[in-house]
Amino acid sequence: MRPGLGQHTQLKQELKINPRLYQAMDLLYMPLLDLQNHLKQELLNNPFLDMIEPDEEDEETEDGDIIEDPSAETEAEKAEKDEKGEIDWEEILQDGFDAGGRREEHEEREYYEPVTVATRDLADHLRDQVSLLDLDGRQMYLADEFIGNVNEDGYLACGLEKIVEGVNESVMKVAEESDRRDVEDLPMYTMDEAEKMLSIIQSLDPPGVGARDLRECLMLQLREAGLEHSVPYRLVRDCFEELIAHRWSEISKRFGISPIDVQKAADEIAKLDPKPGLIYSDASDNYIIPDLLVDKIDGKYFVFLNDANLPRLKLSKAYQEIARDKKKFDGENKEFISNKLNSANWMIQAIEQRRQTMLKVMNYIVERQREFFEKGVQFLKPLTLREVAEVISMHESTVSRVTNEKFVQTPRGVLPLKFFFSSGLSTTAGEDVSARGIKAQIEKLVSEENPKHPLTDQAIVNILKETGVQIARRTVAKYRDQLGVLSARMRKRV
């Protein structure tokens, strides 16, 4: 072989995605609120986009044309506005302007990023209480170190040794920065001080805060309630593992009380809060605005888009008329006008395509899941993204984007679109039943069972087989775990 350089031609096919295709996919993915913000930003950035006003929507004819307003401005009125110093759009286009449609020499308006209002959390609540205590500076410093190590659940996130070690390192660092020569003679914090401070922190509100584990948390709450000498307190203190495992017989023999009394004590313990700090966590309300609406009218289900607050876009007539005279523009101005006009046309088409795609998907879901709307979740049928994609002649990934993070308001409540998609199981009648419907049946069977004789997984399998559902015991166990339902032994009441 001889080394050297050579040239040759080759034909090959490559798939390149247009940037606008990425934008179209993003529009499909966006929930309603995100889309609102996106369109508002587009209205600011593209002068060729305008918003259809409510009165203009009423004046639209059947073919989509806008009826001219008889009260339109006359030439004299336009001239009067020019004399008053109002903006001359033709001059702006000819002299050059930025993406927002403003002249370059105009002063830019300041933009303030919206920020969330600061809220008070558990640490603030604890510091407020500590500030009311009679503590010296040394104790306050240690208390602040403890509070900084309490997590949002209310538990102490590290051991006392680590806290003492950390606070002593901070003291040494401050002393070194202040050039103190007697650093070694500084009184360091001790474990005895940490133990006393832990008792102070654990005496604060909410009861149970500062605990190092669940057992200590429950004991603190029972102590705060004045139940330190009660049966529930003794159960938590002396046989916590047996209590968690619901071993009522073992506990009753050990304490010499009846199993019923043990169970009553366990019921009292179950009323305690295992995560006391969460009541002061940042639990901001997340409101859901449905993207679609399903209403039953005269026995039929109709699908509507919940886009009343969504800006309706149109091409700006003023800019269209100015852009028609292409002789006035050249160079960057001409390229800018062409790009913005094409972008505006594409945006209007993309929004309409999004509307039609969402309506197609939801209409098929309603048709497929009609029994669910009529009878409930137990009649939900199995449905896959591929099935919907084949029916509406679109790609499966498109359907996935349409249904992701979207919600629909139905006669049976506000539901995510993903709720209607689940795998299925076969029945003896040859029909398919949704896995979500099977879960609903299991949940109903457990809620109606005899607490003294709870249904085992095999018993649930047998009951479902009687209704024609073929299901394995391990599948029942998996669905039960997903529902957060305990096993039969753990659900048994004395």
Taking only the tens place, the pLDDT of each residue in 244-282 is 988 988 999 998 889 899 999 999 999 999 999 998 876
Q: Which of 204, 224, 244 is the last residue of a domain?
A: 204
Contact criterion met (CB below 8 Å) for 221 and 273: yes
Q: Which of 369, 401, 421 is the last residue of a domain?
A: 421
90 part of a folded domain: no
**Residues 451, 429 within the same domain:** yes
Six token digits for residue 427: 């029945």
pLDDT of 460 reads: 92
**Residues 397, 334 within the same domain:** yes
Q: Per residue in 41-95, pLDDT tens?
A: 888 888 888 877 655 555 544 443 433 333 344 444 444 544 444 444 444 444 4
DSSP state of 405: T
11 part of a folded domain: no
pLDDT of 21 reads: 62
**Residues 417, 461 within the same domain:** no
| Res 116 pLDDT > 80 | no
Six token digits for residue 448: 């109606």
**Residues 167, 217 within the same domain:** no
pLDDT of 451 reads: 87
86 part of a folded domain: no
60 part of a folded domain: no
Number of Cβ atoms within 10 Å of the Cβ of 355 = 13
Share of the chain above pLDDT 90, in %: 34
Amino acid present at 290: P
23 part of a folded domain: yes
Q: Per residue in 386-444, pLDDT tens?
A: 999 999 888 888 888 888 888 999 999 999 999 998 876 666 655 667 788 888 889 99
pLDDT of 326 reads: 64
Total count of domains within the chain: 4
Q: Highest mean pLDDT range out of 27-31, 223-227, 325-329?
A: 223-227
**Residues 309, 352 within the same domain:** yes
Task: Tell me the pLDDT of the chain averaged across its residues.
Answer: 80
Determine the Cα–Cα distance for residues 64 and 183; give it in Å rounded to an integer. 83
Q: Tokens 């709870």 sit at which residue?
A: 454
**Residues 427, 487 within the same domain:** yes
Determine the Cα–Cα distance for residues 453 and 492; give it in Å rounded to an integer. 6
| Res 191 pLDDT > 90 | yes
Contact criterion met (CB below 8 Å) for 222 and 215: no
Greater confidence, 23 or 50?
Answer: 50
**Residues 254, 321 within the same domain:** no
Question: 192-195: long-range contacts at Cβ-Cβ below 8 A with a sequence spacing of 24 or more?
Answer: 193/139, 193/142, 193/164, 194/142, 194/160, 194/163, 194/164, 195/160
**Residues 189, 220 within the same domain:** no
Burial of 298 from C-beta contacts in 10 A (0-12 / 13-18 / 19+): exposed
pLDDT of 62 reads: 43
Q: Which domain holds residue 393?
A: 19-53+290-421
pLDDT of 426 reads: 61
**Residues 309, 321 within the same domain:** yes
451 part of a folded domain: yes
Q: What is the mean pLDDT of residues 213-228?
A: 94
Q: Which of 421, 443, 466 is the last residue of a domain?
A: 421
pLDDT band at 108 (very low <50, low <70, confident <90, very high): very low
Contact criterion met (CB below 8 Å) for 488 and 457: yes
Mean pLDDT lowest among 12-26, 253-267, 462-476: 12-26
Greater confidence, 371 or 434?
Answer: 371
199 part of a folded domain: yes
**Residues 147, 45 within the same domain:** no
Amino acid present at 426: S
pLDDT band at 304 (very low <50, low <70, confident <90, very high): very high
pLDDT of 67 reads: 34
**Residues 216, 268 within the same domain:** yes
Tell me the pTM: 0.62
366 part of a folded domain: yes
Contact criterion met (CB below 8 Å) for 380 and 420: yes
**Residues 414, 298 within the same domain:** yes
Share of the chain above pLDDT 70, in %: 77
